[in-house]
Each structure stands twice: as C-alpha cells, then as structure tokens.
Amino acid sequence: MATKRVLVTGAGGIAGVNFVRAVRASVRGYWIAGADYSRYYIELPDLDSRHRTPRHDSAGFVKRVAEIARAEKAEFVHPQPSSEALVLSRARDDLPSRVFLPTPEVMETGQDKLLTKERLDGEGVPVARTAQLKEIGDVEEAFSSMGRPLWVRARHGAGGRLSLPCETPREALHWIELWMGRGTLLSEFIVQEFLPGRNIAMDTIWRDGRLVTSYCRERIEYPFKHISPSGITGTPSVARIVADRKVNEVGERSVKAVDKTPDGAYSVDMKEDAKGRPCVTEVDAGKFHTTMPLWGYAAVRHLGLPWYSNLADLYIRLGSGEEPPGDVPRHDLLPDGCYMIRNMDSGVMLWREDGWKERVL
C-alpha cells in the first residue's frame, strides 16, 4: 500500500502529539508533516517534517497551511485545535488537501456553549438550566431561580475557560467583574445549574450522517487540580471506560442535534445532574478530545483490538474516501472498566481494579 501523506496542525500540543503517535502506530505507512505555532512544542511529536504556523486568527494562517500542504504533497490535513479547525473548515477550498470537518456553521455552534445549549434544548437533549446575562444584575436573579452553587463559565474556549463554581451571587459577581476588567465582555459569560455527578466524555466518529463508532469514559481526576480555581484543567490524569446505554443514547442524540448529517470526529462532554441524568455540556464538532488518539494507540498496541480502534487511523481513512469497515461496533468500542492513568513526566498506564496493569508510555 502506498504511503499516505498527511499534515497535522497544532501537532505540538498534547492532543497533537497523541494524534501523531497514533497515526504512526497504524499498519499502513504514513508520512507525517506537522505544524505548530510554538517553536518549542513543535519539537515534541515524532514527525517527518516540522513547520511553524502563525496564530489561527492572523491573516497569514490559511495561506501558510496551504503552502506547507502543497510543499509536502499532503493529501489530507488534520487540524487538531478547535480554533484552527474552524478557520480551515471555512477555508477548505483554499487548501490543496482533503479535510474531514463539519461545516463552519456547525462548528461555530459547537464552539459556543450558549448556542449549543439552545440547539440541544430544542431537540429535547438534556442540558443544565442556563442563564444568559444581559446585565450584571441578572446574576442575583440566576441564583434566585436556579439555587446554589452555580457554575459560571465562558461561552467560548476550551479547558473549562473562565469556569468557577460559585456559592453566592457575590462570588459570581466578583469573578465576572474581575474578567470584565481584563477585557472579557459580559455577554461572554453564562451561568448554569451546577451538575454534581459523573464527568463523562464520549468520543465519536461519523460518516455521512451515520455513527461509525464510539466509546465513553468517565473523567475521574484532573492533573494540577489543586492549583486551578474550578478544578478543571482540560485533560484528565485518571479516566475509566464506561459502557452505559443511557449515556450512549444522549451523546449520540446531541451530535445529531447540532448537525443533521455529522461527518468526521465529534467530542461530546456530559455531566450528570443530581438525579444521575447525563446532561450535555459541550458538543465539539470536528474535534478529537486530547486523549482520543491516545486511547486508540493503547487499543491497538496494548489491548489487542482491531486496527479501526485506532480512531486517528480510522478518521484519516474515512476522510480520504474509504468506506467504513463492516464489523466495527457503533458503541462501546473499548472495554468497560479499563482505566488510563497519566501524569506529566510519569508516563501512561492502563489499569484495572483487579490489579492488571500495562505501561503504554
């Protein structure tokens, strides 16, 4: 089989490094060019060639990506960061390579927590009760109608941006005013019912409106949680695969609610409410969660699962026009109860409560 040439942007971030490693683990030969904004982190992934790109919001970003793709004869481009993926989804006609991304309209909805919430509500998918702030005084009203604590968060951004659980209106006001003093608009904040239950991620791959495969995992701990006010630091240090029909059903419906014909990778986040009902907090369209390719790598290298369990490989093949394999399970691709434990400079371990463990990195 001929070597396939791909370009990964944002290749130096943790998710990008994981994606490149997973693609390397494919039985098919890949030639991988990588690009990143950071002159430091671009040194980390195992690439065949390294490039620098300007920030996604600078005028020269698309031109530079297209230039690299052309020079490297990349047949396929995977933009790993959501911000870069949105820009390249808009500019797909300016690229010499294929992408496997949803439409810009769908991605914009996915990257705005308020628009997502409205779309999900409209389709009857469970979400947290949410208040939009028209004026700062609306914070008091939100506490009167939704109780306490409340979860203050930004509409845009990742990694729990500007999130804080607040016990009183005063705390919420201080938090919001602090950030408004640094240039964030009031309209960028929403206030939500606090969801106290399990924190769940669902990783999904779709083709022409059909779910190809998926699995769910519960996030159990975040690294550096004690030095973050919300305790959310983006990507978990401990997670466990869960197989739960209700979670699968809500997650699948949430993707269909933001995109009638999903195509590509969709990362869904859910948090359970006080009654144990999974509520969707985010449907990131076109996105690989940070550890999605790492789970795929572990699946083929350490769990003896078929090649398509390496979702980075499956995604590039589907995005290049190949047909989905016939035998792939739509749900619960990975084994229930398998943990992934990882931390900075400490490696990556698969573990089960019966004591079995295996080092991945």
By CB under 6 A, name the binding residues for ligand ADP.
128, 151, 158-161, 163, 192-195, 199, 232, 269, 271, 281-282
**Residue 229 touches which of ligand ADP, Mg ion, none (CB < 5 to 8 A by kind)?**
none
CB of 184 vs ligand ADP, minimal distance in Å:
15
Is residue 300 helix, strand or coil? helix
Question: What is the distance between the alpha carbons of residues 311 and 160, in angstroms, rounded to a whole number?
Answer: 25
**Residue 188 touches which of Mg ion, ligand ADP, none (CB < 5 to 8 A by kind)?**
none
Question: What is the distance between the alpha carbons of residues 341 and 295, in angstroms, rounded to a whole number?
Answer: 11
Question: What is the distance between the alpha carbons of residues 200 and 347, in angstroms, rounded to a whole number?
Answer: 23
Q: Rule CB under 5 A: say whether 171 interacts with Mg ion.
A: no
Question: What is the distance between the alpha carbons of residues 222 and 216, in angstroms, rounded to a whole number?
Answer: 17
Question: Which residue, 270 or 360, has its beta carbon nearer to ligand ADP?
Answer: 270
> Which residues on adjacent β-strands are paired with residue 7?
33, 77
Question: What is the distance between the alpha carbons of residues 84 and 88, in angstroms, rounded to a whole number?
Answer: 6
Question: What is the distance between the alpha carbons of residues 117 and 121, in angstroms, rounded to a whole number?
Answer: 6
User: Residue 18 to residues 33, 44, 171, 331: CA-CA distances in angstroms?
Assistant: 14, 10, 38, 22
CB of 271 vs ligand ADP, minimal distance in Å:
5
Question: Which residue, 201 or 333, has its beta carbon nearer to Mg ion?
Answer: 201
The residues in 1-60 that bind Mg ion, with binding defined as CB under 5 A, are none
Question: Which residue, 197 or 306, has its beta carbon nearer to ligand ADP?
Answer: 197
Is residue 83 helix, strand or coil? helix
Question: Which residue, 252 or 269, has its beta carbon nearer to Mg ion?
Answer: 269
**Residue 192 touches which of ligand ADP, Mg ion, none (CB < 5 to 8 A by kind)?**
ligand ADP
The residues in 175-194 that bind Mg ion, with binding defined as CB under 5 A, are none
Question: Which residue, 4 or 271, has its beta carbon nearer to ligand ADP?
Answer: 271
List the one residue from 282, 290, 341, 348 that touches Mg ion (CB under 5 A): 282
Q: Give, as one character, the DSSP assignment of residue 106.
A: H
Is residue 132 helix, strand or coil? strand
Question: What is the distance between the alpha carbons of residues 21 and 342, in angstroms, rounded to a whole number?
Answer: 16
Question: Which residue, 270 or 338, has its beta carbon nearer to ligand ADP?
Answer: 270
Using an 8 Å Cβ cutoff, are 264 and 319 in contact? Answer: yes
**Residue 271 touches which of ligand ADP, Mg ion, none (CB < 5 to 8 A by kind)?**
ligand ADP
x/- mask, Mg ion, residues 250-269, rule CB under 5 A, reads -------------------x
Question: Which residue, 42 or 202, has its beta carbon nearer to ligand ADP?
Answer: 202
> Which residues on adjacent β-strands are paired with residue 35?
9, 51
Separation of CA 299 from chain center: 19
**Residue 194 touches which of Mg ion, ligand ADP, none (CB < 5 to 8 A by kind)?**
ligand ADP
CB of 189 vs ligand ADP, minimal distance in Å:
13
Q: Residues interacting with Mg ion, by CB under 5 A?
A: 269, 282
